[in-house]
Structure 1
Amino acid sequence: MQSAIQTEPSATAAFSGWTTRRWLRAGVAGTLLVLAVLGSLGGWAMWRTSEITTQLVDWRSPALIDAMRVEQALVNQETGIRGYGLSGRSDFLQPYAEGVAAEKAALRRLRPLVEGDTRARADLATVERLAGTWQRRIAEPVSAADAQEAIALSTRRATEGKSAFDALRGAMTRQQGHLQSERERAVQDLRRAVTLRNWMFAVIAGVIALVAVLVFEGLRRGVTGPLARLGTAAREVAGGRFDRSLVGTGPADLRQLASDVESMRRRLVEELQFSEGARRLLDEQTEDLKRSNTELEQFAYVASHDLQEPLRKVSSFTQLLQRRYGGQLDDKADQYIAFAVDGANRMQLLINDLLAFSRVGRVHNDHQTVDLEGVLDRTLDALSVSVEESGAEITHDPLPTVVGDSTQLGMLWQNLLSNAIKFRSPDRPPRIHVGAVSDGGVWEFTVTDNGIGIAPEFQEKVFVLFQRLHTKDAYPGTGIGLAMCKKVVEFHGGTIGIDPDYKLGTRVVLTLPAAGSAPAGEREARA
């Protein structure tokens, strides 16, 4: 008992390492073996039934029938000889002749049928011997004699003929009895074989049904059940129950799959915990950023009000000094006063540009359908003086409708076109063209001029805040225009850059989403 208890865990441990494929192979092999055995037994039962049926149909029954035909033929011979011997009428010889022919035919069929049966061969030999004796002693002499002689011969041998034919009749009765008993034994064997065959096929059907039930139950317990439980647990984890442990059952590969999924769940839990911490940190940083933006807005308010007032006083008084004492002091004093006036004006312009830059995406954020044709026309009206003074020629392709803020897009066109006019070549009037090409859900715009161009090493730097490539004496400005353009374009979900392959001036390339696709600023606001 103790050894049996010790053996069971080792056997369980041996089968615990089996995979689903190995279980299926073993199950299929076992099922095929059982089916092969059952098929062999069923085939044997069918062969046995067929053999007995063949023996009964081809040997036993025909042998009995031919034996009875031999008897009938001999009876016909005896009847014909007896009638001829009593009456002398030759017409009685016709049944005799037919009986002889029928006897020969029946014996010719009967001999092969009893070849394998010793007793049947002996019975047939006795019948043939007695029939031959009767025929030599009685039938042949009587049939060969004339009518008178046949009557006399029949009378003399009547007793001998009767005893000889009675002996022949008894031999044929024994022969038919033996053949009948053999046939009945074959019939019994056939019935038993049929019964055995039917029971065999019933057992085969039952075993097949049992095997099907066992296979179904084995698949349910070993494959579908563990997979269903693993799938249920995985769906619970996917539904948010990340504390749900995944325990594998069944074959080794399904347990390994459950272990892998459990490892993935633990990794996801760790990642979620890390993401939750990162989210909290991001929320804190977002709050800090909101406070910083509030402070920047307050700073912008101070810059637009508190700083503007003293700057206007400095600018006003320096201009009064310039108007009142201009020409009364020496040249150096006039130069100093001019420096002060210019510095105050540039400081005021710089503050206004900084305020405009800070308002992009914060103050003006009214996304709607914008007709760029109308925006460009208003921009050209605002730049009409510069266009007229410079002799600029500005052309454009048909401009589409986009989604965005009309004020910011107006600032975009104004900065791009004013830059193209400002940085014109001194030896030719400016020629500016605004192009528009549709590329799926995006419009690509180009602003091309024939001005002084931008060196390749500065084509990225021009979009940086306060980045200037020239002195204020050569080209006035604050260095904020292109930085503001970049901020406007990116706020609308587009891109902007300088075409490095264009060498005849400057070509600014920018993209904006077409009407029907939400810009980046609006997507962020919805998020």
Structure 2
Amino acid sequence: MTSGPPKTPGSFADWTTRRWLRVGVTGALVVLAVLGSLGGWAMWRTSQITASLVDRRSPALIESIRIEAAMVNQETGIRGYGVTGRPDFLQPYARGAADQRTATRRLRPLLRGDDRGLADLAAVERYAGAWRTHIAGPVSAAAPGEAARIAAQRADAGKADFDALRGAMTRQQAHLWDERIAATRELRRATTLRDWMFAVIAVVILLVAALVFEALRRGVTGPLTRLGSAAREVAQGRFDRSLEGTGPADLRLLAADVDSMRLRLVEELRFTEGARRMLDEQAEELKRSNAELEQFAYVASHDLQEPLRKVSSFTQLLQRRYGGQLDAKADQYIAFAVDGANRMQNLINDLLAFSRVGRVHNEQQTVDLEKVLTRTLGDLSVSVEETGADISHDALPTVVGDPTQLGMLWQNLLSNAIKFRSPDRPPRIHVGAARDGDTWRFTVTDNGIGIAPEFQEKVFVLFQRLHTKDAYPGTGIGLAMCKKVVEFHGGTIGIDPGHRTGTRVLVVLPALAAAPAAPDREARP
């Protein structure tokens, strides 16, 4: 993987994904905080103006209008009483006076901080007091007969006072109305500013989101996608594909690590390819060797057997014809020749049988071991009868294998158990079978002479004998053939080291997937 130009310490190229995300999130939060503060100020400003308009300006104007209506009611009541002298006209005057006091009491707090509004209210109160002093007070206090005279005398002065009062109230309402209009205009401007500000905030948020997504695409998802695509190409077999990292420093480092792993895989593949070629060559050599062995087996079974049969036949004829006619030494030599020829023939036959395991007999099928054992016991019936052997067995299952080889297995195990019997007791042999998960564990237990612990591994070696041919005849191939048969069927064989009286051979073979566990029972031949 080619490296780029050297990066100066602290440059943007050295920033990791975490640092980019931290800086980006911090910047976005700062922008959002500023925009949120501006939006909050706009909301606060709008609410302040709205509160001023709703809670002060409009109620003040309404209270001013109520004061004017109360004064008009007072003036109407006084004028009616002065003209007619009827006391019931004083009721509108009294209600108007009460309404005036109430409206004034409500208006004063609404004008707090408004000097012009307080001045207008003071002028209204002053003119109202002058009118009440000059006209309303004397007329309302006078008797019905006097009221008309006082009203007539002071009509001009009363009119002048009330006109002045009306002018003061008009100015007050005009000022309040102007302030309300100004507040409404300011509210409209604040609302417009708020709406524009929120629109700008929305646009900025969208821009920030777009920038974040674009930054993630260019800095994280894009480099990861390209790295993943390159890694998939390598996984599909394109090991010459170089993985070049882009984006933040940690992603480039990840790409470099993955590319290093690719290079390591390339080296491993080169080594594996060389090992495979070597194995192919060895396989070819093994094939050739096996062919030579098969040729040797053919020669041994035909070319060697024929002269050996001649030697054996003529030495036996020599023994029959001249036995007893020569001296004792000659008879001994002839016996040695006959025995040697016979043992050589047996050895060649056993070697041929050993070489055929897995090569000649190789029919994989379901095999009923009950039938195989019954057939084996029939073949060994003479030995069983001569030795008085007692052979029992559990119910045997069905397995997958070659029936001929499995027959050779049981025959060798049982014949060994009979052959190596103890001289002071008849043979007792039991064949056991037990299911253990996906395998069958078979045991062949006898009460014979047993095998010393130091020889329990050696007995499975080809031509390994623990006794002389005079004590126990044989070629030493039987257990080696059993081992080859069991291993050919994917199993194991060994001697149970914990068994003391006699010998117990353990054989483990794979079980059928749906083979039911055999019920415990005993059978005798």
Class of the TM-score when normalised by the shorter of the 2 chains:
over 0.9
Q: Equivalent residue for 1:356?
A: 353
State the SS of the aligned residue for 2:504: strand
Query: How far 1:320 sits from its partner (Å)?
Result: 1.1
**Residue 220 (structure 1) aligned with residue 223 (structure 2):** no
**Residue 44 (structure 1) aligned with residue 55 (structure 2):** no
Cα 1:186/1:266, change in 2 over 3 Å: same
Query: How far 1:12 sits from its partner (Å)?
Result: 10
Query: How far 1:477 sits from its partner (Å)?
Result: 0.7
How far does the alpha carbon of each residue in 1:88-123 deviate from its partner, in whole angstroms, 9 at most, with x for none?
Answer: 121211110110000000001001000111111111
CA distance in 1: counterparts of 2:216 and 2:142, whole angstroms: 93
Q: Equivalent residue for 1:262?
A: 259
**Residue 500 (structure 1) aligned with residue 489 (structure 2):** no
**Residue 475 (structure 1) aligned with residue 443 (structure 2):** no
Query: How far 1:511 sits from its partner (Å)?
Result: 1.0
Match of 1:200 among 193, 197, 201: 197
8 Å CA contact retained: 1:403, 1:516: no
Query: How far 1:442 sits from its partner (Å)?
Result: 1.1
Match of 2:410 among 408, 413, 419: 413
Match of 1:284 among 281, 284, 291: 281
State the SS of the aligned residue for 1:501: coil
CA distance in 1: counterparts of 2:511 and 2:87, whole angstroms: 130
Query: How far 1:304 sits from its partner (Å)?
Result: 0.7
Report the RMSD for the aligned CA atoms in angstroms.
Answer: 1.3
CA distance in 2: counterparts of 1:15 and 1:488, whole angstroms: 71
CA distance in 2: counterparts of 1:10 and 1:277, whole angstroms: 41
Match of 1:275 among 272, 277, 285: 272
State the SS of the aligned residue for 1:279: helix
How far does the alpha carbon of each residue in 1:448-505 deviate from its partner, in whole angstroms, 9 at most, with x for none?
Answer: 1111111111101100111111111111111110000000000000000000001011
Match of 1:234 among 231, 236, 240: 231
State the SS of the aligned residue for 1:478: coil
Given residue 171 of structure 1, which amino acid in structure 2 is its aligned partner?
Answer: A
CA distance in 1: counterparts of 2:435 and 2:8, whole angstroms: 74
CA distance in 1: counterparts of 2:19 and 2:353, whole angstroms: 75
Match of 2:27 among 25, 30, 39: 30
State the SS of the aligned residue for 1:131: helix
CA distance in 2: counterparts of 1:27 and 1:393, whole angstroms: 90
CA distance in 1: counterparts of 2:65 and 2:335, whole angstroms: 157
Given residue 57 of structure 2, which amino acid in structure 1 is its aligned partner?
Answer: R
Query: How far 1:440 sits from its partner (Å)?
Result: 2.1
Q: What TM-score do you get using the length of structure 2 for normalisation?
A: 0.95
Cα 1:302/1:506, change in 2 over 3 Å: same
Q: Equivalent residue for 2:70?
A: 73
Q: Equivalent residue for 2:330?
A: 333
State the SS of the aligned residue for 2:346: helix
State the SS of the aligned residue for 2:11: helix
Given residue 442 of structure 1, which amino acid in structure 2 is its aligned partner?
Answer: T
Deviates more, 1:193-202 or 1:478-487: 193-202
Query: How far 1:516 sits from its partner (Å)?
Result: 4.5
Q: Equivalent residue for 1:3?
A: none
CA distance in 2: counterparts of 1:256 and 1:96, whole angstroms: 96
CA distance in 1: counterparts of 2:136 and 2:294, whole angstroms: 150
Structure 1 segments unaligned to the other structure (5+ residues): 1-8, 518-527
How far does the alpha carbon of each residue in 1:233-274 deviate from its partner, in whole angstroms, 9 at most, with x for none?
Answer: 111111111111111111111111111110111111111111
CA distance in 1: counterparts of 2:8 and 2:58, whole angstroms: 60
Q: Equivalent residue for 1:191?
A: 188
Match of 1:445 among 431, 442, 447: 442
8 Å CA contact retained: 1:246, 1:259: yes
Query: How far 1:296 sits from its partner (Å)?
Result: 0.5
CA distance in 2: counterparts of 1:476 and 1:365, whole angstroms: 29
Match of 2:508 among 508, 511, 520: 511
**Residue 149 (structure 1) aligned with residue 150 (structure 2):** no
Structure 2 segments unaligned to the other structure (5+ residues): 1-5, 515-525
CA distance in 1: counterparts of 2:134 and 2:448, whole angstroms: 153
Query: How far 1:39 sits from its partner (Å)?
Result: 1.1
State the SS of the aligned residue for 2:434: strand
Match of 1:365 among 343, 352, 362: 362
CA distance in 2: counterparts of 1:11 and 1:281, whole angstroms: 50
Q: Equivalent residue for 1:165?
A: 162
Match of 1:423 among 420, 424, 430: 420
State the SS of the aligned residue for 2:19: helix
Deviates more, 1:327-336 or 1:187-196: 327-336
**Residue 347 (structure 1) aligned with residue 344 (structure 2):** yes
Query: How far 1:515 sits from its partner (Å)?
Result: 2.6
State the SS of the aligned residue for 2:197: helix
Given residue 123 of structure 2, which amino acid in structure 1 is its aligned partner?
Answer: T
Q: Equivalent residue for 1:112?
A: 109
Query: How far 1:150 sits from its partner (Å)?
Result: 1.0
State the SS of the aligned residue for 2:63: helix
Q: Equivalent residue for 2:293?
A: 296
State the SS of the aligned residue for 1:183: helix
Cα 1:186/1:11, change in 2 over 3 Å: farther
CA distance in 2: counterparts of 1:55 and 1:158, whole angstroms: 42
8 Å CA contact retained: 2:7, 2:13: no
**Residue 131 (structure 1) aligned with residue 163 (structure 2):** no
Query: How far 1:82 sits from its partner (Å)?
Result: 1.2
Q: Equivalent residue for 2:61?
A: 64
State the SS of the aligned residue for 2:497: coil
**Residue 375 (structure 1) aligned with residue 372 (structure 2):** yes
Q: Equivalent residue for 1:401?
A: 398
Q: Equivalent residue for 1:178?
A: 175
Given residue 332 of structure 2, which amino acid in structure 1 is its aligned partner?
Answer: Q
8 Å CA contact retained: 2:70, 2:97: yes
Query: How far 1:200 sits from its partner (Å)?
Result: 1.2
How far does the alpha carbon of each residue in 1:58-79 deviate from its partner, in whole angstroms, 9 at most, with x for none?
Answer: 1000000001100110111111
CA distance in 2: counterparts of 1:92 and 1:196, whole angstroms: 55
Match of 2:302 among 293, 305, 316: 305
**Residue 486 (structure 1) aligned with residue 472 (structure 2):** no
Deviates more, 1:91-100 or 1:320-329: 320-329
Query: How far 1:11 sits from its partner (Å)?
Result: 8.4
CA distance in 2: counterparts of 1:471 and 1:19, whole angstroms: 81
CA distance in 2: counterparts of 1:311 and 1:326, whole angstroms: 21
Query: How far 1:13 sits from its partner (Å)?
Result: 6.6
Match of 2:51 among 23, 38, 54: 54
CA distance in 2: counterparts of 1:10 and 1:288, whole angstroms: 57
Q: Equivalent residue for 1:466?
A: 463
Given residue 226 of structure 1, which amino acid in structure 2 is its aligned partner?
Answer: P
State the SS of the aligned residue for 1:370: strand
Given residue 434 of structure 2, which amino acid in structure 1 is its aligned partner?
Answer: V
